[in-house]
Structure 1
Amino acid sequence: MMSDDVSPTAFYEEKAKNILKGELKRRGITYALLAEKLNERGAHESERNLANKISRGSFTAAFFMMCMDVIGVRQVSLEV
């Protein structure tokens, strides 16, 4: 049971953050390199901004999908 002070989406934000961080680590991609790849696609993100956004885990599905695309992820497991 969740307490009233916890966002109902907190579990999924944490899961999305962990999936993204795991895929970056698996591929040896730093936040600096991710920023470079995103900038090439027109999404202007700094390394610091990415680190903050990903650590919060409260990014959009579009941001998640763009990150997955630029690092070459084609399949993601959503199993708990």
Structure 2
Amino acid sequence: MADKTDWEARAANLLKAELKRKGVTYSQLVEKLAEIGVDEKEVNVRNKLSRGKFTAAFFLQCLAAIGQTEVRLYP
């Protein structure tokens, strides 16, 4: 299995940080995604974030689901 690239790790860490800031668990994220019409299982969300392998569309769906309208890409 290939290691995560720096970009994949950065994307995953950014999304995890936004979830943490909002106090949203993976289980809650799945519920919020369902509210906007995105069908995901908690185990799939966990795997995507741990691997850092997800689409830009999934990233945006997660941000929309938690009500995050701004993201700071660089410190």
Tell whether the structures are fold-level matches, with TM greater than 0.5: yes
Q: Larger Cα Rg: Structure 1 or Structure 2?
A: 1
Aligned residues: 74
Q: Where does 1:3-42 land on structure 2 (aligned, <5 Å)?
A: 10-42=5-37
Q: Return the TM-score normalized by structure 1.
A: 0.84
Match of 1:69 among 55, 59, 64: 64
**How far did 1:72 drift?**
1.2
Q: Return the TM-score normalized by structure 2.
A: 0.89
The runs of 4+ residues in structure 1 deviating greater than 6 Å are none
Paired AA for residue 28 in structure 2: L
Identity rate, percent: 50
Deviation digits for residues 14-55 of structure 1 (CA, Å, limit 9, x no counterpart): 001001000101111000000001111221111111101111
Aligned CA RMSD, in angstroms, stands at 1.6
Higher RCO structure (Cα 8 Å, ≥6 apart): 2
Q: Show structure 2 runs of 5+ residues with no match.
A: none
Match of 1:46 among 37, 41, 47: 41
**How far did 1:61 drift?**
0.3
